[in-house]
Amino acid sequence: MKVTVFGGGYVGLVTSACLAHVGHHVVCVDQNETRVALLQRGICPIFEPGLEDYLLEGQQEQLIEFTCDAQLAVAHGDVIFIAVGTPTDEDGTADTRHVLSVAKTIGDYLAKPSVVVTKSTVPVGTADRVSEVVQQQLRQRGADISFEVASNPEFLKEGAALADFMKPDRIILGTSSGRVEALMRELYAPFNRNHERLLVMDVRSAELTKYAANAMLATKISFINEIANLAEHLGADIEKVRQGIGSDPRIGYHFIYPGCGYGGSCFPKDVQALQATAHKVGYEAHLLSAVQQVNAHQKQRLFDKVNSYFDGQLAGKVIALWGLAFKPRTDDMREAPSRVLMEALWQGGAAVQAYDPQAMEECQRIYGDRKDLALMGTKEAAVKGADALVICTEWKHFWAPDFAQLAEKMNQKVIVDGRNLYDPKKMSALGFDYLAVGRGA
């Protein structure tokens, strides 16, 4: 099938790569010339395990093409995906400017009957707006070409995006048209084998499903973080409590790991956007504001622990930091807890020695050269002469360090663990002051 994907960002590239992998003919269009030039040379501009190989394979088999030529791209696809970014607007809602500008381009160039599919995470009602904009452009051109707009939100996790796309839990399709459903069934048939994964519903419900899924997951995280904080006050151990509640299948073990707050490009933005959408229609989403408040507080907690350990005397201290990315298997530092921590430490006069297996370049890009940040080549180098080590990301790399070596290299044996990687009893037997999350027992 002929598919066009607008957007060579995270969602657009994964969608393009996976659709080409199963044999569809994909044209991926982006207005960023540098990005397209890189992609044409087989270089993937983002870090995602396996993505570059898929893109190369698609290009070698001539199933995927990258271009800046929107007219060519619109003419190609029977299905045209919109997978461009939706940054946060001033009022907290998702800014659909790019989505609607693509809709305008589609209306300008549409040459044959096509299905336009919104894949970006967009506020409820956006597919209707896209439809209006395409229609308006067609009318201006005096063109009478039939098209339909469907919603097909994406549920990729960074670091596991290819597996998520190739073996989805569900494929959400918002459409009331039997013709569109049949076409999308054909498109997704290779991903919908063995058991039915396609859930067809009206467009608005599909749009809301995406936000509801992310808001629910964020709520689980803020909930467990709240209980973790309470556990510290009550002398209980959140890791015991987590297993105690997770064993109830109605609760489940997933997404109840306490930590230093959720980050990334999705949860913070989407929860805020859903709350703003609610506000716009006159509904106050109290739970969603609480989820965000708890998360903002949680991101501060690592700093609070370090600061109170040193009685607020941070000037001149050297703090080692393991993990800059918002989670393992990515170099993404958007809304990462490490940023809140570093910025607060610098404010307090401390210097940071940081290490991350993937996000060093990203950190350099964000913060540039500063005297109080040293990006170290290994996790061992990061702890040299440090007064404390703080763990922000649970890379496997950090799960079983040589503690004797750590003790030798560090100036003081202090570990603040934002991901509860170690056994508190073992740590205290080794002579470390070990401050984890929610482990008051």
Under the binding rule (CB under 6 A), the answer on residue 214 touching ligand UGA is yes
Under the binding rule (CB under 6 A), the answer on residue 346 touching ligand UGA is no
Distance CA 372, CA 309 (A): 20
Smaller CB separation from ligand UGA, 138 or 228: 228
Smaller CB separation from ligand UGA, 214 or 229: 214
Binding residue per annotation — 255?
A: yes
Give the amino acid at 144.
Answer: D
Under a CB-based contact definition with an 8 Å cutoff, are residues 7 and 30 in contact?
A: yes
Say which residue the tokens 């509904």 belong to.
Answer: 283
Considering only the stretches 80-88, 250-258, 273-281, 422-430, report the one whose residues sit in contact with ligand UGA under the rule CB under 6 A. 250-258
Considering only the stretches 53-61, 128-136, 260-268, 430-438, report the one whose residues sit in contact with ligand UGA under the rule CB under 6 A. 260-268
Residue 197 Cα to chain centre, angstroms: 23
Distance CA 321, CA 21 (A): 39
Give the amino acid at 332.
Answer: D
Binding residue per annotation — 156?
A: yes
Distance CA 165, CA 21 (A): 11
Of 217, 230, 236, 245, the one binding ligand UGA (CB under 6 A) is 217
Under the binding rule (CB under 6 A), the answer on residue 259 touching ligand UGA is yes
> Cβ of residue 38: shortest distance to ligand UGA, in angstroms?
22
Smaller CB separation from ligand UGA, 58 or 259: 259
Distance CA 18, CA 119 (A): 14
Binding residue per annotation — 193?
A: no
Under the binding rule (CB under 6 A), the answer on residue 324 touching ligand UGA is no
First to last CA, the chain: 59
Under the binding rule (CB under 6 A), the answer on residue 156 touching ligand UGA is yes
Distance CA 333, CA 416 (A): 20
Pattern 398-437, ligand UGA, x by CB under 6 A = ----------------------------------------
Q: Which of the following is catalytic: 18, 44, 260, 266? A: 266
- Please work out the total of residues on this chain that contact ligand UGA, with binding judged by CB under 6 A: 19
Give every strand in the sheet of 433-435, ordered side by side. 373-375, 351-355, 318-322, 388-391, 414-417, 433-435
Tokens at 265, concatenated: 């490009």
Give the amino acid at 230.
Answer: L
Smaller CB separation from ligand UGA, 294 or 351: 294
Of 6, 155, 211, 322, the one binding ligand UGA (CB under 6 A) is 155
Task: Count Cα atoms within 13 angstroms, Cβ side, for 416.
Answer: 23
Binding residue per annotation — 155?
A: yes
Binding residue per annotation — 277?
A: no
Binding residue per annotation — 158?
A: yes
Distance CA 192, CA 174 (A): 16
Binding residue per annotation — 4?
A: no
> Cβ of residue 19: shortest distance to ligand UGA, in angstroms?
17
Distance CA 77, CA 116 (A): 9
Residues of this chain, 109-148, that bind ligand UGA according to CB under 6 A? 121
Under the binding rule (CB under 6 A), the answer on residue 86 touching ligand UGA is no
Binding residue per annotation — 252?
A: no
Smaller CB separation from ligand UGA, 107 or 328: 328
Under the binding rule (CB under 6 A), the answer on residue 25 touching ligand UGA is no
Binding residue per annotation — 258?
A: yes
Pattern 220-239, ligand UGA, x by CB under 6 A = -x------------------
- Summary count for the chain: helices (H), strands (E): 17, 14
> Cβ of residue 210: shortest distance to ligand UGA, in angstroms?
7
Which burial class, exposed, middle or buried, applies to 281 when counting CB atoms under 10 A from its CB (0-12, 13-18, 19+)?
A: exposed
- Which among 275, 255, 126 has a CA at the least distance from the CA of 212? 275
List Cβ neighbours of 189 (8 Å cut-off, separation of 6 or more).
Answer: none
Distance CA 395, CA 356 (A): 8
Under a CB-based contact definition with an 8 Å cutoff, are residues 111 and 74 in contact?
A: yes
Considering only the stretches 18-26, 151-159, 228-236, 363-371, report the one whose residues sit in contact with ligand UGA under the rule CB under 6 A. 151-159
Q: Assess whether 266 carries a catalytic annotation.
A: yes
Which burial class, exposed, middle or buried, applies to 130 when counting CB atoms under 10 A from its CB (0-12, 13-18, 19+)?
A: buried
Of 47, 54, 81, 257, the one binding ligand UGA (CB under 6 A) is 257
Residue 59 Cα to chain centre, angstroms: 26
Binding residue per annotation — 327?
A: yes
> Cβ of residue 155: shortest distance to ligand UGA, in angstroms?
4
Under the binding rule (CB under 6 A), the answer on residue 266 touching ligand UGA is yes
Catalytic residues: 266
Annotated binding site for substrate: 155-158, 210, 255-259, 263, 327
Residue ranges binding ligand UGA (CB under 6 A): 121, 155-158, 214, 217, 221, 255-257, 259, 262-264, 266-267, 326-327
